[in-house]
């Protein structure tokens, strides 16, 4: 398990990047391990912890090459000027940080869409999450 980087430091670095002149907005996503199972929170069937039970932790890993490709894809989206991603790994407890994503762009709708697209790509194609329970 790694320590999450400073959001303040990331924002300072983003605003020092040459892309800042075209960025009118930055959004941050900080994903954390929650106690409510994915099956319950999303209302979907999973092979993980079932609705009504509590998550006590998670084993989390990711494919670096797929994450790098997802970041490059997000950078190519219309209006997106800045993207940075950090992912944790290993056995995590409830409340631990899973990921940090910072995205900057020209206007709110594009930045919101870009963040949603990038986080969905990471969650759906780049990571492996296994919820743990007692």
pLDDT at 52: 85
pLDDT at 9: 97
State if pTM tops 0.85. yes
- Whether domain 7-132 has CATH 3.90.1170.40: the reply is yes
CA distance 28 to 32: 13
Spans of the chain, pLDDT less than 70: none
pLDDT at 6: 97
Q: In this structure, are residues 102 and 83 in contact, taking their beta carbons and an 8 Å threshold?
A: yes
pLDDT at 67: 98
Q: In this structure, are residues 118 and 71 in contact, taking their beta carbons and an 8 Å threshold?
A: yes
Q: In this structure, are residues 60 and 94 in contact, taking their beta carbons and an 8 Å threshold?
A: no
Domain boundaries, the chain: 7-132
Ranges of beta strands (E only) in 33-96 are 57-62, 80-87, 90-93
pLDDT at 51: 86
pLDDT at 18: 95
Helix, strand, or coil (residue 5): coil
R_g of the chain, CA atoms, integer Å: 16
The length of the chain, given as a count of residues: 134
């Amino acid at each position: 398990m790694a320590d999450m980087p400073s959001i303040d430091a990331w924002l300072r670095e983003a605003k020092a990047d040459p892309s800042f002149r075209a960025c009118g907005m930055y959004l941050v996503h900080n994903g954390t391990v929650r106690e409510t199972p994915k099956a319950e929170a999303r209302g979907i069937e999973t092979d993980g912890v079932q609705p009504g039970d509590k998550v006590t932790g998670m084993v989390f890993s990711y494919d670096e090459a797929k994450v790098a490709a997802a970041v490059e894809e997000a950078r190519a989206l219309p209006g997106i000027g800045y993207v940075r991603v950090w992912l944790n790994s290993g056995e995590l407890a409830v409340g631990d940080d899973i990921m940090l994503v910072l995205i900057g762009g020209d206007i709110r709708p594009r930045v919101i869409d870009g963040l949603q697209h990038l986080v969905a790509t990471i969650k759906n194609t780049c990571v492996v999450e296994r919820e743990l329970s007692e």
